[in-house]
Amino acid sequence: MQQSSFFLKAMVCLAFTTGELELNAQTNLITNIPARNTTSLNGKWQYIIDQYETGFYDYRYKERKENDREAYWNSDKPDNKTDRKEHGYIDKYVLNVPGDWNSQQEKLLYYEGSVWYKKSFDYKKSNPSNKVYLYFGSANYRTDVYLNGKKLGSHKGGFTPFNFEIPDSVLRASNNYLVVRVDNKRHADEIPTLNTDWWNYGGITRDVKLVEMPRNGAIDDYLVQLKPSGNNEVDGWVKLNNHKPSESVTIEIPELNIKKSFVVKEALVKINFKLPAFQSWSPQTPKRYNVIISTATDKVEEKIGFRSVTTNGGQLLLNGKPVFLRGISIHEEIPQQIRRAYSHEDALQLLGWAKELGCNMVRLAHYPHDETMTRLADSLGLLVWSEIPVYWTINFSNKEVLEKAKVQLDEMITRDHNRASIIIWSVGNETPVSEMRTNFMKTLLETAKAKDPTRLVSAALEVNYHSENNSRTIDDPLGEYVDVVAFNQYLGWYGGTPESCRAATWGTKYNKPLFISETGAEALGGYHADSLTLWSEEFQEWYYKEQVAMLKRMPANFVGISPWILADFRSPRRNNPTYQEGWNNKGLINQKGEKKKSFYVLKNYYTEMQEKHP
């Protein structure tokens, strides 16, 4: 297989175990899965809870050999009545895939550890010469994958996709025995680290599919986007697998009468051409064009929008015009069912709420959300901030942690780099200022820019609420390296009371767009009192009224806000027995899916801002 060294390096997944560097089997991340020849493995999977890691380690705590009969990836069926088997998969114990295990079994509500999944399937290739990949939308956090007793590979990261090629010698026409170990234990040197403010949902949380592709000339990935410099110029590439020199790659956009061919000289085929007059993608007109990419043996299609996103001093420009971001932050969770979101219907609910609020932008926090969210944002005309879970105090001095963060950043960008809706790649949230942290985050920002120069980069910065005066300047040294200076502020909740906003002013020493990436206050849905009473809907309503009044005094480079948060979500950190009970209740929508009073305060502000900034 021919590979460009850049992409080989970028697409290798890293896992770190017992202090040693382990390379995952994944070297090609396939994109645009909906357009491929796929077979779904979703549905009911048998499972075993393995709290002591018995199926993975022997009694000396050494990883079991591949042919170890007691390894949980091998058959659980005894050969005869004297053959001892101490594990088994039966239909009494099943979990739905995709889906988190916490919401499916009461005994797994607080469980953090290993669960083994098993699925049997038959499969016959449509073409005997094709190759087959096993694709996971995501699984949290470490995943080890075995087929018919052979290990296909491992992956770390709970929110990004991965795939492994299945050797022909392993795949059977019938009775394939697929076993997947998923371990969601938290560790200090992982991404995210031990301490977060969201529920650590475990399991195979997104789609599992078999993907069949040509053995030669397969289109693994591609980038078809406008150059940031404008001039209607498309600058991108097509990445082939097992290519043959002198063949060609063809790009077609039928609606624009475009058909361009490019000679294959290496695995990464550069493409460049100009578009004729076209309709730019925007929140008002989310126009997308059907783009067809083909080789002699492979063909994929995808709807792609063309737009530019740039900055000019303190302005944020979409298609060359200033845009004000009427945003909301979202966790990937369905509050009414207390579970991880994953389906198209889930995305419709969450993004539908955002549209009803009057948003033109969503911050998908604090990790890459399911691909259904970004694809639906494309069609609905919602701008997107997408983020990796570099959150709070990770180990900024550890080079292996940096590599893990870079892998997750790479996988996030690779999956979604053709989504017009995504305008900002974020490399983290509320990281404490230090030289090590700034160097760590700067490296991630530079990595994102090198990987995708067509979008902006940022991070949600933290501010001090206890200023000696009312003037607050965002001067985090990371501001020098971001395109948009974004900061989280909870003035009136974590600092003072809502009237503290009345004299407060905000600014930054950087001549860049200024964006409030979070603000909010908790309210227990349905609890009513006077506005001075914490936890009441009236207090949260007062908080937002004072925030809105303050926002109207923001400086000229203020380009938007994404309050925290659309809907209440689960968090083990929130333990007030009366008003939280394991929930972070900063949502504008409560645990039952009902709108709180604050929803309408923000909606009215967004209506006003839409009239000023259509």
| pLDDT tens for each residue of 371-417 | 999 999 999 999 999 999 999 999 999 999 999 999 999 999 999 99
User: Collapsing DSSP states into helix, strand and coil, what is residue 523?
Assistant: strand
Distances (CA, A) of 510 to 442, 484, 599: 16, 10, 32
- Domain positions in the chain are 5-213, 229-307, 329-612
Do 521 and 586 contact (CB within 8 A), yes or no? yes
Q: What integer is the mean pLDDT of 134-141?
A: 98
* Encoded tokens for 541: 């309503």
Beta carbons within 8 Å of 273's beta carbon, 6+ residues apart:
233, 234, 251, 258, 260
Report pLDDT for 220. Answer: 96
The answer, yes or no, to whether residue 13 has pLDDT greater than 80, is no
Which of 356, 364, 383 shows the shortest CA–CA distance to 603? 356
Report pLDDT for 28. Answer: 85
Which of 188, 201, 158, 114 shows the shortest CA–CA distance to 389? 158
**For the sheet containing 150-156, what is the strand order?**
94-97, 43-50, 114-121, 176-183, 142-147, 150-156
**For the sheet containing 315-318, what is the strand order?**
309-312, 315-318, 321-322
Do 295 and 248 contact (CB within 8 A), yes or no? yes
Which of 494, 390, 375, 394 shows the shortest CA–CA distance to 159? 390
The answer, yes or no, to whether residue 78 has pLDDT greater than 60, is yes
Cα 119 to chain centroid distance, Å, stands at: 26
CA end-to-end span of the chain: 50
pLDDT in tens, 162-187: 999 999 999 999 999 999 999 999 99
Beta carbons within 8 Å of 394's beta carbon, 6+ residues apart:
191, 192, 193, 401, 405, 431
Distances (CA, A) of 345 to 206, 285, 310: 14, 23, 32
Helix axes 399-416, 435-451, angle to 10 degrees: 30
The answer, yes or no, to whether residue 502 has pLDDT greater than 50, is yes
Q: Write out the E strands in 148-215.
A: 150-156, 162-166, 176-183, 208-213
Do 588 and 547 contact (CB within 8 A), yes or no? no
The answer, yes or no, to whether residue 21 has pLDDT greater than 80, is no
Q: How confident is residue 469, by pLDDT bands cut at 50, 70 and 90?
A: confident
Report pLDDT for 10. Answer: 38
DSSP 44-97: EEEEEEETT-TTTB-TTS-BPPTT-TTSTTS--S-SSTT--------TTSEEEE
- Cis preceding-peptide flag for 322 (omega within 30 of 0): no
Do 484 and 311 contact (CB within 8 A), yes or no? yes
DSSP state for residue 544 in the 8-state scheme: H
Q: Does domain 229-307 have CATH number 2.30.110.10?
A: no
Report pLDDT for 18. Answer: 34
Q: Does domain 5-213 have CATH number 3.60.40.10?
A: no
Q: How confident is residue 466, by pLDDT bands cut at 50, 70 and 90?
A: low
Farthest CA pair distance, the chain: 80
Beta carbons within 8 Å of 330's beta carbon, 6+ residues apart:
350, 354, 362, 363, 364, 365, 369, 565, 566, 567
Distances (CA, A) of 577 to 269, 572, 574: 59, 12, 9
* Encoded tokens for 540: 């949260």
pLDDT in tens, 188-211: 999 999 999 999 999 999 999 999
Distances (CA, A) of 557 to 42, 148, 318, 540: 47, 58, 15, 27
- Residue position matching structure tokens 């292996």: 400
Angle at the Cα of 426 from the Cα atoms of 8 and 34, rounded to 5 degrees: 60
Gap between the Cα atoms of 275 and 272, Å rounded: 10
Q: What is the mean pLDDT of the chain?
A: 93
> Could you give the dihedral angle defined by the CA atoms of residues 524, 528, 530 and 536, in that order, rounded to the nearest 10 degrees?
0
User: Collapsing DSSP states into helix, strand and coil, what is residue 429?
Assistant: strand
Phi, psi of 566 (to 5 degrees): -60, -50
DSSP state for residue 267 in the 8-state scheme: S
Q: What does CATH list as the number for 329-612?
A: 3.20.20.80
Report pLDDT for 512. Answer: 98
The answer for 232, left when phi > 0, alpha when psi is -120 to 50, beta otherwise, is: left
Q: What integer is the mean pLDDT of 221-229?
A: 92
